């Protein structure tokens, strides 16, 4: 077996796994993390986009 053949398939994980691996640094409690995950699912976006969206939403709702 060639070395190159051995190394295949060890790149970045599939999309599903990447989503699972997201740890949300902003959240404090498990409930908040649950809300974050729901938000990300609903928007169909990753953490950074969810954060941006949330900040924009926060700014809009504070006024």
pLDDT at 34: 76
Q: In this predicted model, what pLDDT tens digit does every residue of 7-17 receive, in sequence order?
A: 555 665 555 55
Residues 5-58 have pLDDT tens digits of 555 556 655 555 555 555 555 545 667 777 777 776 776 666 666 666 677 766
- pTM metric for this prediction: 0.28
Residue 8 confidence (pLDDT): 58
Give the position of tokens 């974050």: 36
b (16+ CB within 10 A) / e for 20-52: eeeebeeeeeeeeeeebbebbeeeeeebeebbe
Taking the CA atoms of the chain, what radius of gyration do you get in angstroms? 17
């Amino acid at each position: 077996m060639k070395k190159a053949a051995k190394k295949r398939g060890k790149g970045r994980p599939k999309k599903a796994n990447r989503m699972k691996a997201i740890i949300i640094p902003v959240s404090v409690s498990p409930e908040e993390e649950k809300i974050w995950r729901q938000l990300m699912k609903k928007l169909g976006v990753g953490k950074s986009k969810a954060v941006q969206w949330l900040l924009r939403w926060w700014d809009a709702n504070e006024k």
